[in-house]
Amino acid sequence: MRFLVDECTGTSVANWLNKENHEVYSVFEQWRGASDESILEKCHLENYILITSDKDFGEMVFRNQKVHSGIILVRCIPNNFVKRIEVLSKLLKNYSDKLENNFVVVTNHTVRIVERI
């Protein structure tokens, strides 16, 4: 799968996804300081699923009707790279077929998928 890992999500997540044989674009390593608008546009134009912990993307998609190719909002406690990788690993194992074009919120114990119509 193709993932764009937001700056706030961290390089550890990007490195882990690379090791899992996914195609990864890391904002922290390749486009530091990019605006949320630019990130969302790149994801849509280049067919990346965005992985972020920035709730602003939800507002962009639901309130402002911005298009996307899939967004994973990671909301875990503790909010560190070990827990992010743990919840993402479970998500990819169990829901990989539901990630493209949908808005997914993943926490320590739940997955909520809002399908794009």
Q: Which residues of the chain have pLDDT under 50?
A: none
Provide DSSP, the chain: -EEEE-TTT-HHHHHHHHHTT-EEEEHHHHSTT--HHHHHHHHHHHTPEEEE--THHHHHHHTS----S-EEEEE-SS-SHHHHHHHHHHHHHHHGGG-TTSEEEEESS-EEEE---
Q: The CATH number of the domain where 68 resides is what?
A: 3.40.50
The number of folded domains in the chain is 1
Q: What is the pLDDT of residues 13-46, one digit of tens each?
A: 999 999 999 999 999 999 999 999 999 999 999 9
Structural domain that includes position 95: 2-114
Residue 116: per-residue pLDDT: 77
